[in-house]
Chain A
Amino acid sequence: MKRLQLHRWSSSVLSPRARTGSRVQQHLHSGVRHQSTASPLQSEASSQEEPFLEEAPVDEGLARHIRSIRFKRPEIQYPSPPVEAARSSAKLAALHARLYLPSRLPLETLARTLVDASADPNPHFNNESLVTLGHDLLTYYTSEHLLCTYPRLPLAVIFSSMYAYAGPKSLAAMAKEWGVEAATLPGGRLTQFRRIDPGAEVPGSAEKREPRQQMGRKIFYDNEYGDAPSGPVDRNAGVSAEQASSDFVRAVMGAIYLHAGRPAAKRFFEQHFLSRQLNISSLFSFSQPARDLNRLCARENFEQPVAKIISETGRRSRSPVFVIGIFSGQDKLGEGAGSSLFEGRERAAVAALKGWYLYSPLSVRVPSSMEEEGAAPWKPVHVDLGEVIV
Chain B
Amino acid sequence: MFSRSALRSLAQDLRLTTPSAIPSAPLPQRVFLHQAASLRNAQPQSSTQSSSLNPDTPLSATPQAQDTQPEIQQGFKAPSGNPTTTPNTPADTFIPQTRNHIPIEKQPVPPTFDSPLKVTQSLMSRLPHLVGQTPHYIVAELHARPYLLTEGDHLRLPFLMPKVKPGDVLRFNRATALGSRDFTLKGTPHVDERLFECRVRVTGVESEPLRIKEKTKRRQRHVKKALSKHRYTVMRVMDVKVKTPDELLQEGTQVVEDAEDSPEIETRA
Contacts and interface: CB of A to CB of B under 8 A. Distances in A.
Interface residues of A, number: 25
Contacts of A103: 57-58, 60-61, 69, 72
B72 A102 contact: yes
B76 A33 contact: no
The secondary-structure label for the interface of chain A is helix
A149 B176 CA distance: 31
Contacts of A94: 70
Contact of B70 (A27, A107, A360, A362): A107
A31 B69 CA distance: 6
Given A26-B60, A103-B58, A33 B80 contact: no
Given A271-B79, A271-B80, A362-B132, A27 B60 contact: yes
Interface string B57-99: 1111100000111111101100110000001000000000000
B72 A33 contact: no
A355 to B, nearest CB: 13
A97 interface: yes
B152 interface: yes
A277 B70 CA distance: 31
A93 B67 CA distance: 13
A100 B70 contact: no
A217 interface: no
Among A26, A277, A360, which residue has the most Cβ atoms of chain B within 10 A? A26
A26 B58 CA distance: 7
A41 interface: no
Nearest to B132: A362
Interface in A69-123: 93-94, 96-97, 100-103, 107
A93 B71 CA distance: 9
Contact of B58 (A23, A268, A362): A23
B68 A100 contact: no
Interface in B149-194: 152
Contacts of A97: 70-73
Nearest to B63: A33
B150 to A, nearest CB: 11
Nearest to A25: B58
Nearest to A22: B58
A100 B73 contact: yes
A133 interface: no
A27 B87 CA distance: 23
Nearest to B246: A363
A155 interface: no
Given A27-B58, A29-B60, A268 B76 contact: yes
Interface of A: 23, 26-27, 29-33, 93-94, 96-97, 100-103, 107, 264, 267-268, 270-271, 277, 360, 362
A-B pairs, 3 with minimum CB distance: A100-B75, A30-B60, A93-B70
Interface of B: 57-61, 67-73, 75-76, 79-80, 87, 131-132, 134, 152
